[in-house]
A and B are shown apart, each in its own frame.
Chain A
Amino acid sequence: MADHNDPNSVNSIFSDVDVSAADVYDMFGYPSDATDEEKVVLALTFAAVPEAGVFDTDMLYRLLVNPHARSVRPAAEDWSLPALTRYFDARKDHYLGQRDAAEIRVTVDGGGTATVRFTGFPGGDFTQQVPTNEVTTVRSPSGTEVTAYLGGRDDAFFNDLTGFFRSINYAPQFYEVPQARQDVRELPIPKTFLELDGNTLFNVNPDIPEHGRGVKLDLPEGPLTWEGDSFAKDADGNYRFVYSGEDAQAGKNVNAIVLEVPLRFLTADPDEDRVVNVWGESWVRKAAAKIETIPDDPLWTENPVALLRRRRLDDELRQYKLVDTVGQPFADAGLSEREDNRQLGANNFWLAPAFVRRLAHLGWGFGPSVTALGLASVFDHDGAPVSVHKTYSTAAAAFPRCRKLIFQELRMPDDSWKRSNVDIPLRRPFEIFIPNVCAIDMDTTGTWPFGRRPEDQVATRFLSMFLDMAAPLGPGGYSVETLNDQALWDAAPITPKTPPNPLTNDKPFLTTFPYLAEPW
């Protein structure tokens, strides 16, 4: 009997399925303010699906933890691509050598009870069931107490997401992009902090104020490019900021896993291992694991690569598929272009050449707009008067342009980030984003980039990478907080006069565990 349900029909029968519970948002990590002993706060947030406080029972979340001593990095004078490559190679060995990385694994059943498994820590392996949406204490076999909260919270991310997408001309935020046009995401228009004169696709349209804030237009026909040669200015001669400073996440909830863990549970040598790397992963249950299926495993002979990959996983993890990872904010959206096959978490070393090419691409866009504002750009854009759309096919070609950006120390506004007298070097972009982990320095407050505290305005700090931190600017010079300074914007020839992103969260964070605000 012939059959019309052949593979030609598959794509339409089986549409994309919403798996947004797998969308991990943020990885927070910082030394706790606890006075009884040294502790680390770890918080993974993800989409509130099915709803805030209710977890998807097909999901598995992992927090992978890797404490170690501070790494030795290239000397300041050795700013070469080979030195960078050697550094990445050394770091790669460090991470990939630990296949059995310590982890905290969470699943939640239909009754709202979470199973939390701690494995690979010197404090001992153990599993405990805890209720969701309550602060609880779990005890390791050695008696260590870990404070835990798994449940709904207010979204702790506060930023002008629309402004960010406007800055990179990201069409899906503003337009209904056809499924068949996967090539139409970031359009080939220069990235910029300032509106481009005549960029009708992305400049703010006063007639449609909600465009990009929920309202999407159909993607226009015709060239999706920009042919202008200057930044846009208003009648008063001010540039138009692509950012509004408004909080796109206001009033939104997430689900979260928040833990406060003694450092001595995470490492046997807390005096030496002063940096705690952590990253989060979401895994969704495979269909085959949902039912009892036939036992044969054809992968053994026909797909040995897939089998080897699976064999590195334990029995439980083999039942799941890795969907998303999060370590550093904007490592995905800003640097990895959101590609599914780049969800590598700490193992993103092979992206190093792409990282260099991407930074050079971003620099050609953002650099001239930084300069136009009268600020010092760290990117060498040859004095371009307006942002340029330029891509590179090789890291070697891109590297000279962004070498200074990659290696510059990201200055802090003051010394309040230090919690001890330890001499801690300032961090540089290359060591922040590769590996893609939240690297918590226990001798700091854990403010970004020495970890990430909920109150950090990381979206704006990320943008500060494009400033020349060595250039003079007022009494304090440039720092990761420069673009968060309202006074700077008050004096700049720009409207609206606002920092790019809100300075505080829509709901105040708590001073006590679980620190993230109550859900709406």
Chain B
Amino acid sequence: MNALLASPVGFSADLAAVSRRRAEREATADPASPSAAGEVLTLRHREVMLTGGRPEELLALGAAVDRAVERFPAWPDLRILRGGLALAVHRPDVAAAALDAVPGLASVPPGRVLAADIAQFAGDYPAARAGYRKAAREDPLWDTTARLAALALATGACDEADALYAAAEDDITAKQMRAFAWVRVQRADLALALGDLDRAGRLLADAGRAYPDWWYVAAHLAALDAVSGRPERAVAGYRSVLADVDRPEFREALGTVLQATGDTDGAAACHAAALSAYLASVARGEVHYLHHLAAFHADVRPHAGAAVAWARQDAELHRSGTTLSLLAWCLHRAGRRDEALAVVEEAFALGAGDPRLQSRAREIRKGGQT
């Protein structure tokens, strides 16, 4: 009798509900209606993200949105969706084109947020901050606050970042438990980056209770287990994640923790599979796995030349704190300290300062090849 008690709770029920709703909308959508097209595609996007946000699915969805845009070029929701999809696969140029395609779109809150996302992706942190703040003034939403938190973290203001995440969280209701879990995961990542493993664990436990069975939380728990010296648990965690979401970066992570347990054959197989997927993506002309390739060759299967080449290719596409941090690290691993130092300074000059950049900078300044 109480419909509320039967409403979706947790990942599995949520996914089933979204899939059902998407199917219903697809069956009844008026093909001549831009709003119907936007709704169906937005539901597909939500479904894709729930099921792992695999780049190949995001790219396919992007193509579907492009087809819808051809029919309804002035419908702004489609452009915003297109922009978000493009950024998810590291194509800020496509995102910017989507934003520019509809006059005035960059002047309304969702457009301001997308513009700020693009700015942050490109390492223009002041512009990103200004955009998010303006959007938040015009239309205060928890996820804009969360974006400001991520920006604070990217620029090294860790306390501010956690406070902003807490403020975002305070605005999230019991009807948005997935959002709450997501924010807790971000705060756990921050705690982990600052070395507070216990707090990270508590925050992830909160996320798991808030939104049970979500692979996203499980993946971060596995990463925490790996860092905490619990490779067996990490192996189990990544295997459960891969059962839901087969992404190469999870395969790579599983390989690394298998290595830690002494399963070198298993590790090699996982690493090979991940590398193969990364390279296949690049062979298709995609750019979203460049940074994975660089990191893989810097730290997992060291190949200094390849690491620098991939990292440089990524940094040439967009010079942000993230890409410069990785390039500097790869140069450092290649023994090219002066170049690494120069790149680190370039990242700091942008205003970047996240904990990983800080840590890498310390290592590089200390000198020597790690």
Contacts and interface: CB of A to CB of B under 8 A. Distances in A.
A54 B3 CA distance: 8
Contact of A180 (B45, B105, B166): B105
Nearest to B208: A291
Contact of B199 (A176, A287, A288, A294): A294
Nearest to B178: A14
Nearest to A181: B76
A5 interface: yes
A511 interface: no
A17 B175 CA distance: 6
Given A17-B176, A291-B210, A299-B167, 13 more contacts: A3-B249, A4-B55, A7-B149, A8-B87, A8-B88, A50-B4, A51-B3, A54-B3, A179-B38, A284-B175, A285-B174, A287-B176, A293-B206
Interface of A: 1-15, 17-19, 50-51, 54, 56-58, 110, 112, 176, 178-183, 218-219, 221, 284-294, 298-299, 301-303, 306, 321, 340-341
Nearest to A184: B108
B109 A182 contact: yes
Contacts of B302: none
Interface string B114-139: 00010001000000000000000001
A316 to B, nearest CB: 14
Contact of A182 (B108, B150, B223): B108
Given A10-B146, A294-B206, A180 B79 contact: yes
Interface SS of chain B: helix
Interface string B134-153: 00000110010011011000
B167 A112 contact: no
Contacts, number: 183
A478 to B, nearest CB: 41
A377 B125 CA distance: 54
Contacts of B311: none
B111 interface: yes
A2 B311 CA distance: 13
Contact of B182 (A2, A13, A291, A293): A13
A299 B108 CA distance: 30
B209 A10 contact: no
Nearest to A177: B35
B159 A302 contact: yes
Nearest to A179: B77
A392 B84 CA distance: 37
User: 3 smallest A-B Cβ distances: which pairs?
Assistant: A302-B163, A176-B35, A287-B180
Contact of B210 (A12, A19, A290): A290
Contact of B5 (A110, A183, A289): A110
A304 to B, nearest CB: 10
A288 B180 contact: yes
Given A6-B150, A14-B179, A180 B76 contact: yes
A405 to B, nearest CB: 30
B175 A19 contact: yes
A7 B147 contact: yes
Contact of B45 (A12, A284, A286): A12
A182 B253 contact: no
Nearest to B139: A182
Nearest to B54: A4
A302 B160 contact: yes
Interface of B: 1-5, 7, 33-36, 38, 42, 45-46, 49-50, 53, 55, 74-77, 79-81, 84, 87-88, 105, 108-111, 113, 117, 121, 139-140, 143, 146-147, 149-150, 159-160, 162-164, 166-167, 169-180, 182, 184, 199, 202-203, 206, 209-210, 216, 223, 249, 252-253, 288, 291-292, 295
A7 B253 CA distance: 22
B2 A11 contact: no
A294 B146 contact: no
Contacts of B175: 17-19, 58, 284
A12 B88 CA distance: 11
A17 B206 CA distance: 21
Given A1-B252, A287-B180, A290-B174, A11 B46 contact: no
B180 A7 contact: no
A221 to B, nearest CB: 5
B292 to A, nearest CB: 6
A5 B179 CA distance: 12
Interface hub of A8, A56, A218 (most chain B Cβ within 10 A): A8
A4 B50 CA distance: 12
Given A10-B182, A298-B166, A15 B42 contact: yes
Nearest to A111: B2
Nearest to B179: A14
Nearest to A221: B74
B225 to A, nearest CB: 13
Contact of B150 (A7, A18, A286): A7
Contact of B291 (A2, A112, A286, A298): A2
Interface hub of A2, A112, A287 (most chain B Cβ within 10 A): A287
Nearest to B143: A10
Nearest to A12: B45
Given A112-B2, A178-B38, A12 B173 contact: no
B77 A291 contact: no
B77 A180 contact: yes
Given A13-B178, A50-B2, A54-B3, A287 B172 contact: yes
Given A15-B46, A19-B175, A285-B173, A180 B108 contact: yes
Contact of A298 (B46, B162, B202): B162
Contacts of A219: 35
A407 B149 CA distance: 48
A176 B75 CA distance: 11
12 contacts: A1-B253, A8-B84, A9-B84, A10-B143, A11-B113, A178-B75, A182-B108, A288-B170, A299-B170, A302-B159, A302-B164, A341-B140
A303 B166 contact: yes
A54 B4 contact: yes
Contacts of A284: 173-175
A294 B140 CA distance: 26
Given A13-B182, A287-B173, A50 B139 contact: no
Contact of B33 (A8, A176, A291, A294): A176
B2 A110 contact: yes
Contacts of B88: 4, 8-9
